[in-house]
Amino acid sequence: MNRELLRALDLAIARDWAGAAAAMQQPDDPVAERLGGLFADLDRQDESRRRSTARARHEIGNALAIVQANLEGVIDGVLEATPERLASMRDALASAGAALDDLGRS
Amino acid sequence: MIDNRLKRVLVVDDEPEIGEALRAYLEREGFEVTGAATLASALDAYRRIEPDLMLLDITLPDGSGLDILRATQAEGRRTPAIMLTARAEEVDRIVGLELGADDYITKPFSPREVVARVRAVMRRAEIAAGAPRRAGNAIVIKDLEVDIDAHEVRMGGRNADVTATEFRILRVLAEHPGQAFSRAALLDALHDDGSIFERTLDRHINNLRKKIEPDPERPEYLHTVYGVGYKMRARS
């Protein structure tokens, strides 16, 4: 048991929650079972956080790309500063703000 | 300097505001731009226009920009591509999968930077695929040899006896095989002092065809690009 526990803890320290959970699959050992459950839960949370971060990165990156490309276009005289264009930049910034809020809550 | 005339760029991004800005910049630089917002419409546009370069957003509503790369490669085509992504982790996939993307740009980006990358990738692709072979200081395209030092043109090893003006025209076209020139662009490239006019250019081309083409009625080298001007055949 000690050997498996040490191996699972090493994997957990390395944030390999799935590996740590797998190392704790000891039949009929309540401690191993609980630790395995904890590591599996941490793995799910980690995965969920990774997905949220990637989603927010995508949303914010796209929104900033809209603002940067259009602002530069207006400054360079390539695009016109129409009310529609300004509104789409405002909307993009609003969605970037919302994505940041989501990130803070996740 | 790279010549952008009639170079076609396919811009694929599901954000219309991004696609529109890229289109405006690229068109200002002389590129012909076609836009698409989905995987399906991008593949349709690809087959229709056969672009010289693709700008591909990775995340599309019905698939991925990487799917476009895979599909075109499965059809045996190798079109230079620059990937656009807002996700840093996708960069690793692009590099790791070795799908043949020539470059990648992470969002947000400066459209000026995108134009610079487009130029750089096109230049590399032209050097790799379309550059004429040089033997000594001669340009060789199939059986045609334009000898810069000797100021001679040979077809199948035989001297074609061209005039000085014909040589200059042929040299410009041979240095850019496969690239269409409008008459005005060709005159610009010749740095002509005004002695050649657009209307006399056609006559020079006809004379050149008589001298170098195996069948001047059905040119293999000096092609007419209808509505535009002329181009030299591609190297292969």
Q: Point out the residue among A59, A78, A88 whose CB comes nearest to the CB of B28.
A: A78
Q: List the structure tokens of B209.
A: 């065809």
Query: Looking at residue A43, what DSSP letter applies?
Result: H
Q: Is the pLDDT at B2 greater than 50, yes or no?
A: no
Q: Residue with structure tokens 């810069």?
A: B148
DSSP 3-state of B60: strand
**What is d(CA A72, CA B209) in angstroms, rounded to the nearest whole number?**
48
Render pLDDT for B168-208 as a digit per residue (tens, 0 to 9): 899 999 988 888 888 888 887 776 666 667 778 888 999 99
Task: Report which residue type is found at A69.
Answer: A
Q: Report if pTM > 0.80.
A: no
Beta-carbon separation of A79 and B110 below 8 A: no
User: For a pLDDT cut of 90, what percent of chain B falls above it?
Assistant: 42
Smallest CA–CA distance from B57 into chain A, residue: A62
Query: Looking at residue B129, what DSSP letter applies?
Result: I
Nearest Cα residue to A64 out of B11, B86, B22, B23: B86
Whether residue A57 contacts residue B86, with contact meaning beta carbons closer than 8 Å, is answered with yes
User: Residue B76 half-sphere exposure, CB side, CA atoms within 13 Å?
Assistant: 0
Q: List the structure tokens of A7.
A: 């191996």
Residue B231: strand pairing partners? B223
* Shortest CA gap A79–chain B (Å): 7
CB atoms closer than 10 angstroms to residue B195: 8
Render pLDDT for A23-35 as a digit per residue (tens, 0 to 9): 887 767 888 888 8
Which residues are CB-neighbours of B180 under 8 A, at least 6 positions away? B5, B6, B225, B228, B229, B230, B231
Render pLDDT for B150-170 as a digit per residue (tens, 0 to 9): 888 998 888 898 998 899 899
**What is d(CA B226, CA A19) in angstroms, rounded to the nearest whole number?**
65
Residues of chain A in contact with residue B85, where contact means CB-CB under 8 angstroms, are 61
**What is d(CA B104, CA B106) in angstroms, rounded to the nearest whole number?**
7
Which residues are CB-neighbours of B199 under 8 A, at least 6 positions away? none
Residues of chain A in contact with residue B15, where contact means CB-CB under 8 angstroms, are 62, 65-66
**What is d(CA B66, CA B97) in angstroms, rounded to the nearest whole number?**
10
Phi, psi of B120 (to 5 degrees): -65, -45
Q: List the structure tokens of A59.
A: 């949303």
